[in-house]
Chains A and B, each alone.
Chain A
Amino acid sequence: MSMLSIYQWVAIAMFGIGLFGVMVRRSLVGMLIGVELMLNGAGLSIMAAAQFTETAGALAQLSTLLVMGLAAAETTLVLAIVLIVDKRFGHVESENVSLLRG
């Protein structure tokens, strides 16, 4: 059992927990927390692959940084969407948001 596999399993566990969170939550904020967990798992996996194998190390570290930047951008947009949904529907539960009129 190599170090890389151990870190990968931790990352996969985070991904699985995050996917479960996205599925099981009703509120959009709870789903966002699940998505953050999944993205962090992905970052951890990339990082472990960089540090324990003979790949281009700088490339992989920058990829992790890129994942973080994308997560920040995604969170900002989700905040805007949550605010709009809250203003229009009066709650932030995903299942009752079914109106498509502009």
Chain B
Amino acid sequence: MQILAHITFGLYLVLVLGGGMVATGSRSIVRAFAGLLVTLVGVAGLYFLMDAPFIALMQILIYIGAVSVIIFMAVMLTMASRGEGYETRLKTPQKRILSFLAGGIMAILLAGMVAKYPLASGTTPRNIPVEELGQALLGPYSFVFELISVILFVAMVGAMIAVYERRK
């Protein structure tokens, strides 16, 4: 069972990192989008592996279901009609190296902190039943629950107002 978990983890790791590479490296925006989808599936798998099936399903529902559709809409409404699915001009090599350094240095710093201050951690993930999550949402964290719905509502209405055009 242990070996099986390691193999699954490796598979998801390949999905996450490979998808991330495609998402940032590909010149075609649609291919980059497909890479992002692969990454999101990999992260959902990692959530399953961490014994959090509810969050994994939410990841599939919210990210792979909703957010990706919005990104695809953005591609469709802005780039597809002009046949511009590609980044026609890349940034100069100097800027690309600087971008790589920005991401790399940040990641190395954070990874160093994680390595320097290891937390005591178990080897098997805890199982938190969905009932407990529901109780927490309706009990101590009900304000957060309300707040996130208000934020979503305001974002949706704001987006609609922003792109609304009065008919002349």
Contact = CB atoms under 8 A, between A and B. Distances in A.
A86 to B, nearest CB: 4
A16 B21 CA distance: 11
Interface string B134-168: 01110001001000100110111011101100000
A84 B162 CA distance: 8
A51 B52 contact: yes
> A-side binding surface: helix, strand, loop or mixed?
helix
A73 B50 contact: no
B3 interface: no
> B-side binding surface: helix, strand, loop or mixed?
helix
B148 to A, nearest CB: 5
A9 B16 CA distance: 12
Given A48-B50, A61-B52, A92-B79, A77 B158 contact: yes
A62 B133 contact: yes
Best-surrounded residue of B29, B122, B159 (most CB of chain A within 10 A): B159
Contacts, number: 240
A50 B83 CA distance: 45
Contact of B158 (A4, A70, A80, A92): A80
A65 B73 contact: no
Interface of A: 2-5, 7-10, 12-21, 23-30, 32-34, 36-37, 40, 43-44, 47-53, 57-59, 61-62, 64-66, 68-84, 86, 91-92
The 9 closest A-B pairs by CB, nearest first: A16-B107, A20-B103, A23-B99, A21-B24, A4-B121, A80-B159, A73-B155, A51-B125, A17-B20
Interface of B: 13, 16-17, 20-21, 23-24, 29, 32-33, 36, 39-40, 43, 46-47, 50-52, 54-55, 58-59, 62-63, 66-67, 70-71, 73-75, 77-79, 84, 87, 89-91, 95-96, 98-100, 102-104, 106-107, 110-111, 114-115, 118-123, 125-126, 128, 132-133, 135-137, 141, 144, 148, 151-152, 154-156, 158-160, 162-163
Given A51-B52, A53-B119, A53-B122, 6 more contacts: A12-B114, A17-B103, A27-B79, A29-B79, A65-B55, A68-B62
